[in-house]
A and B are shown apart, each in its own frame.
Chain A
Amino acid sequence: MSAPDLITTIGMEVHLHLATRTKMFCPCEVRYDAPPNSCVCPVCLGMPGVLPVMNGRAVELAVRMAIGLGCTIPAFAKWDRKHYYYPDLPKNYQISEYDEPLGLGGHLDVELDGETFRVGITRVHLEEDAGKLMHAEDGSNVSVVDLNRTGTPLLEVVSEPDIQSAAQARAYGEALRQLAVYLGVGHCNMQLGQMRFEPNISLKIGDGPDGSGGQPRYTPITEIKNLNSFRSVERACAFEIARHRDEFAADPAGYTLENQGKSTRGWNDDRGVSFLMRSKEEAHDYRYFPEPDLVPFVPAPEWVDKIRADMPETPSQKRYKLVTTYRLSPYEVDVLVSDPDLSDFSEEVLRNAQDSSTAAGLIMTEGLRFVNERDKPISKLFKPGDVAAVSDMIFSGEISRSVAPHVFVQLVETGKSAADIVRDENLAQTSDEGELERVVDEVIRENPGPAQDFAEGKDKAVGRLIGMAKQKTGGKANPNVVREILIRKLRG
């Protein structure tokens, strides 16, 4: 009998910081650049006698995300306390939502390599983040704690185990980030730790109930804690899938969910390996119970309706619009919708440009170069009208595509309009046949070899000749006109 198929099943728990000005249960500012323990108050320090007060804006953003994920918003949600002892958690419990969260049962459609797969969303809930514990690296056995992050509003999105590969896990994470950023729910800056991933990995053994005639069997679930980049999500999942396969091959009877339950693992990104943190036996008992210091969250239906009505555009809505209206390629759309600022900017350019392909190409090559170099959103660097104007000038032949990089530099540096730059610097192409004919004659005279080749039907030689003509005119010779003259003179 051959070995059974092993089908990857991954469910993801994703945490992200909400884009609120203040913390979840106190008025302290949420900041990432402040000196340690400077954005704290008795409430987030968990001092004796303090009480939490719910941040209404955080709840609004959480509900917006839940709606964006197609979740239903229950009429009643409540807060619970989750207990565990750790020095970065001043109360030694975290306020969270345990069994009655604010969003239930949605889904997210994710594109990967031109295909769409759907990931079910189990639940969306709110909680408070913990602080940061740092251990001295000099071996002095000292740890220090920074509680600035303590109480930062944290949204958790829990998916169904619908993800079937490491690449899908990454794509799901990226799609979730894109949605959160589009909806204004979170900034999701990975470097600042504003988004973290915890994949739960298990392999389904065989084809499920039908193939084997029994209940589906699985390899033990392993949860990988605290991954903070898309790359590590993909690598950790790939590593873990392979590890599950090996373990199962070595012990097909013993390495099952039934026997070993769920364990928690960490990920060493430098060495590219996962390691055991807690086995089933060492699992925490969080002793959840309803938070008595807060009243349950009972959203008014009109309030939910208003959030629904005011929802910003989602990435999939934007994608659909760009594809149907401007006929862009899947690759172009992927790039342009990757960020809401870029997609809004692009849409504005496309609406005003004569040729969408030229315009999209300009944004993707010239525009994004500056976005990356200057680390600024494209809308802060260029005006959509200027980019559309450059696109139109290229499309009409008024300027050469090759002067576009220079025009973009000038747009950023001088703040002048595209039309002024082209005029002031005399960048318009020369299409004056009389002048170009004289230039072409010179080129043919000075480059007899290539001219002969072209005359004999070798098309490749034309590039060289056009290049020479452009050189002589300071880049302004319209290549199409030069080509026509060359054809007439050498092949006519």
Chain B
Amino acid sequence: MAILDQTACQMRDALRRRDLTAADAAEASLAAIERLDPTVAAFVATDACAVRRRAAEIDARLDAGGPVGLLAGVPVAVKDNMCTADGLPTSCGSRILDGWRAPYNAHVVERLLAADAVIVGKTNMDEFAMGSSTEHSCFGPTHNPWDTATVPGGSSGGSAAAVAARMVPLALGSDTGGSIRQPGSLCGVVGMKPTYGRVSRYGLVAFASSLDQIGPLARTVGDAALLLQAVAGHDARDSTSVNEPVPDYLAVLDEPVAPLRIGVPKEFFTEGLDPEVERLVREAIGVYERLGAKLVEIDLPHATDYAIATYYIVAPSEASSNLARYDGVHYGYRAPEHADMIDMYMRSRSEGFGDEVKRRIMLGTFALSSGYYDAYYKKALRVRRLVRRDFDEAFEKVDCIMGPTSATPAFPLGERLENPLAMYLSDLFTVGANMAAIAGISIPCGFTGAGLPVGLQILTGVFTEDRLLRISRMYERQTDWTSRRPAICEASA
């Protein structure tokens, strides 16, 4: 089996057995990037020399038989909104961070380095993670490996596409309103948003602080568990990271959850849902039923329509504040021509930010303005509590909630660029989990007639990632979607 056709877990075992070297794994990854990325454009930065040095160093330690980390020698990609101190830039798909080099590593990057992973490069994203298609990037769009005329989803589209095209087995993404799960769904890979507070946000360039969460993208549930294991846990530098023990996810992965009560909310099967997506998702739920699960129809009256409306108050408000620091004064892009200080601020921000970011900064600035705060932000926080209550009440009756991750499969590049509202509705089924701070995952559940992947979304309560992974694994064992490869991988593999 080709190196990159192995799962991360298989690679890890082969590396430890010394059936595979970190150098070979790294070369395979670099070669795949060189071959495929001109088409896919998943990566915005790689450093082949550093990757080779690092692989050699890890091989030396593996050869010496010394203790190594959880991911020793496994190639991993990192979304470009996580700070990397050495070599690789951190640009968030934005011109405004032009020339800036992070002076420190994000907590998750430290954890990857401590786990002896080989960080291959940084992946493309919608600017500051604002978008659902990875088209809003100063580096240009990423293409979906299953059909390069379509989008990979977003904002973690680069990470999802890199994993789907088998350039790396693992990648980190961040999910503010669905930015891991939706591209996971559109690219046919596993994408998980852990509970808010499960993974430290220290060094994750903030979009919406109360919603942002880092999580894994991988081809299999087991690989997602492996990567989550490496990065989860408390960090004193993030006051919102929670000091909850991190279970051994892989150890329990193959234990089915039984009995299993699945909540199927009617709000997740609405009018706009693509019929093929609906059929595949219902078939997937049918697989659980055959495994003995009990289906329970539930109501989540606030989890979709209200959640998306309030999400577009809360997220832009926090973003307008978080992005205030990009002003051309201390670092990043500064407009070359300016009349005075205020003019320098205005020009630097006007030239440095893309249209979608500006739109959200304006939305958020408006919502937080004196006289509007109570009507918008404060009310949004109240609705957010209702969203959380919906889920709390549901989880008293069921173990998990299932539905589609995205209402449609991957859509053509450019289709929603001129229609922000349609783009915003791409997150309809995913934002609820962010508003409620719960755990969620998207796993591949089949392909449309046109050959585009479709994802099943599963949601569970806070800090139940172990259960979420076990439930996901139950389905994965019954199907073989993860073995399918995009055509572009076949061409010259």
Contact = CB atoms under 8 A, between A and B. Distances in A.
Interface stretch (A48-56, A353-361, A374-382): A48-56
A100 to B, nearest CB: 13
A51 B324 contact: no
Interface in B319-365: 320-321, 324-327, 329-331, 341, 345, 365
> Which residue, A42, A47, A52, A285, has most C-beta atoms of chain B within 10 A?
A47
Given A48-B92, A48-B102, A51-B202, A293 B321 contact: no
Interface in B282-333: 317-318, 320-321, 324-327, 329-331
Contact of A49 (B83, B239, B321): B83
Contact of A287 (B205, B206, B238, B368): B368
A470 B218 CA distance: 100
16 contacts: A42-B103, A47-B103, A49-B81, A49-B203, A53-B236, A81-B321, A87-B327, A87-B329, A91-B325, A285-B369, A285-B370, A287-B365, A287-B369, A289-B321, A289-B373, A294-B240
A50 B202 contact: yes
B408 to A, nearest CB: 31
A295 interface: yes
Interface in A380-439: none
B96 to A, nearest CB: 10
Given A51-B238, A292-B240, 13 more contacts: A48-B92, A48-B205, A49-B90, A49-B102, A50-B203, A51-B239, A52-B239, A83-B368, A90-B325, A92-B325, A292-B318, A293-B240, A295-B240
> Which residue, A45, A46, A50, A91, has most C-beta atoms of chain B within 10 A?
A50
Nearest to A45: B330
Nearest to B104: A42
A46 B317 CA distance: 18
Contacts of B219: none
B381 to A, nearest CB: 8
B106 interface: yes
Interface in B88-126: 90, 92, 97, 100, 102-104, 106
A450 B43 CA distance: 107
B325 A287 contact: no
A92 B361 CA distance: 14
In which size bucket is the chain A interface? 20 to 34
Contact of B206 (A45, A49, A92): A49
A340 to B, nearest CB: 34
Contact of A48 (B97, B327, B341, B370): B97
Interface of B: 81-83, 90, 92, 97, 100, 102-104, 106, 201-206, 208-210, 236-240, 317-318, 320-321, 324-327, 329-331, 341, 345, 365, 368-370, 373, 377
Nearest to A285: B370
Contacts of A81: 321
B104 A47 contact: yes
Interface in A286-301: 287-289, 292-295
Contact of A53 (B92, B103, B106, B237): B237
A85 interface: yes
B204 A83 contact: no
Interface string A54-92: 100000000000000000000000000101010100111
Nearest to B332: A48
A155 B368 CA distance: 25
Contacts of B318: 289, 292
Nearest to A79: B239
A87 B331 CA distance: 12
A323 to B, nearest CB: 47
Which 7 A-B residue pairings sit nearest by Cβ, starting from the closest?
Answer: A92-B324, A292-B209, A287-B368, A292-B210, A48-B205, A49-B203, A49-B205
A93 B321 contact: yes
A76 B325 CA distance: 29
A54 B237 CA distance: 10
> Which residue, B100, B330, B331, has most C-beta atoms of chain A within 10 A?
B330
B209 A293 contact: yes
Given A48-B90, A53-B236, A90 B330 contact: yes
Contacts of A83: 321, 324, 368
Contacts of B204: 49
A46 B330 contact: yes
A48 B325 contact: yes
Nearest to A294: B239
Nearest to A81: B321
B173 to A, nearest CB: 15
A46 B106 contact: no
B321 A287 contact: yes
Contact of A293 (B81, B239, B327): B239
Contacts of B321: 81, 83, 93, 287, 289
> Which residue, A42, A53, A81, A293, has most C-beta atoms of chain B within 10 A?
A293
B380 to A, nearest CB: 11
Nearest to A84: B324
A330 to B, nearest CB: 48
B209 A289 contact: no
Contacts of B208: 292
Given A85-B327, A287-B365, A51 B237 contact: yes
A224 B8 CA distance: 64
Contacts of A293: 206, 209, 239-240
A49 B329 CA distance: 17
Contacts of A45: 330
Contacts of A90: 325, 329-330
A191 B330 CA distance: 28
Contacts of B377: 289
A63 B318 CA distance: 29
Contacts of B324: 83, 85, 91-93
Contacts of A54: 239
A145 B82 CA distance: 28
A47 B97 CA distance: 11
Contacts of B237: 51, 53
> Which residue, A53, A90, A289, has most C-beta atoms of chain B within 10 A?
A289
